[in-house]
Amino acid sequence: MAGERPFIPLGIAVLTVSDSRTLENDKSGDTLVARLEEAGHRLAARAIAPDDRQAIFNTVRDWTLTEDVDVVITTGGTGFTGRDVTPEALEPLFEKRMDGFSAIFHRISYEKIGTATIQSRATGGVANATF
């Protein structure tokens, strides 16, 4: 097809933010890893971080400084409880916000869980040329 772009596999890092999960019981992280690999991408890194702003910030910042990581996906810590600090940890890293990510995330979530999607503060951006 004219104009079709070749597939470029990305190095994707997956961070689960949780005080209670481990790599052995991290179903969300397992699902993300399986889906990114099924799509032809490469798992560049994976970790669990506690609901701690500095720990989240440091892990993601370090990954954005690594040439192997093109994309970081986080799961957890975007709700409204006192321990949910993922957006506050990540947004200072952003050189540019990706506002459309939140809009698409909520649209897809709405189709699955309805208005409960308002309980997520999903965010996205670019830091050190890493999405």
The pLDDT, as a whole number, for residue 1 is: 56
**Unique residue bearing structure tokens 């947004």:** 91
Domain ranges of the chain: 11-126
103, containing H or E segment: helix 99-113
Q: Are 120 and 79 in contact (CB under 8 A)?
A: yes
List, run by run, the mean pLDDT of 10-residue segments along the chain (131 residues). Answer: 85 97 96 98 98 98 98 96 95 97 96 96 97 97
* Distance, CA of 45 to CA of 30 (rounded, Å): 13
Structure tokens that stand for 127 in this block: 């830091």
CATH class of 11-126: alpha beta
* Distance, CA of 64 to CA of 127 (rounded, Å): 6
The pLDDT, as a whole number, for residue 2 is: 64
Structure tokens that stand for 40 in this block: 């032809």
**Unique residue bearing structure tokens 């965010």:** 123
Write down the pTM of the prediction: 0.92
pLDDT, tens only, 51-87: 999 999 999 999 999 999 999 999 999 999 889 999 9
Query: What letter represents residue 109's amino acid?
Result: S
The pLDDT, as a whole number, for residue 3 is: 76
* Dihedral sign of CA atoms 58, 40, 117, 50 in order: negative
* Distance, CA of 116 to CA of 121 (rounded, Å): 12
